Amino acid sequence: MIVYQGPNEDTHKLIQFFRRAAPDFKILRRLIVSQDKTVVLDVNRDTIEFPGLTFDSPGLARLLDDLGVVYSRESLHAATSTPGVVKEFGLGAVWTWGHDSV
């Protein structure tokens, strides 16, 4: 497990940390957001943890975008006001073969 210890409000720093850390992991599999943290899991269930990064953090949207997750921003914001809610996003989507050749 790797834990991010930088400031969540500095989205650039957060993303740079993630991009440096991710290559040491296997195929990324899931991202789980709870009220107090965000955790990225690879296929081995090894984790990159972001304490304090949650639904209303600007860094979360940036991280989801960086991972190519297609999610509804509206439902993400709605989760902020729902106590105890946990959201899970799959990280299995990739570009189709030859997507850039048509």
Partner 1 sequence: MELTERTLDQIKDDIRLNVVDFEDFNSRVVGAYNDGSAEKGLPADDQVARSIIPGGTGALRDFSYIAPDIPAFITENCVGCMECVTQCPDTAILGKVVEPSVLEQNLSQIGDTIERESMGAQWATTTKYFNVLEKKGVGGGKFGIFIDPSKCKGCAECVDACGDHDALKMVRKDDENLDWYKRAWNHYKTVPETPGKFINEKALADMMLAQRALLYVGGAGSCMGCGEATALRMMLAATGFVYGADNIGMVAATGCNTVYTSTYPYNPYIIPWTNSLFENAPADAMGVRARWDQLGWKNKRLWIVGGDGAMLDIGFQSLSRMFASGMDIKVLVLDTQVYSNTGGQTSTGSFKGQDAKMSAHGKVIDGKKENRKEIANIALMHKDVYVAQTTCAHMNHFYKAVMEANEFPGPAIINVFTTCQPEHGVADNMAEHQAKLAADSRSFPVFIYDPRKGKKMKERLSLAGNPNMKEDWYVNPKTGEAVDFVSFARTEGRFSKHFDKDGNPSKTLLSAKQDRLENWNLLQELAGLK
> Is residue 78 near partner 1 by the rule CB under 8 A?
no
Applying CB under 8 A, what is the total number of residues that bind partner 1?
27
DSSP per residue, 15-74:
HHHHHHHGGGSSSEEEEEE-SSEEEEEETT--EEEEET--TT-HHHHHHHHHTT----HH
Q: Between 9 and 65, whose beta carbon lies closer to partner 1?
A: 65
Q: Say if CB 59 and CB 9 are below 8 A apart.
A: yes
CB of 10 to partner 1, least distance (A): 23
Q: In sequence order, which residues have a C-beta less than 8 Å from that of residue 25 and are 6 or more positions away?
A: 42, 44, 46, 48
Q: Between 13 and 29, whose beta carbon lies closer to partner 1?
A: 29
Q: Between 36 and 74, whose beta carbon lies closer to partner 1?
A: 74
What character string, x for contact with partner 1 (CB under 8 A) and - otherwise, covers 29-68?
x-------------xxx-----------------------
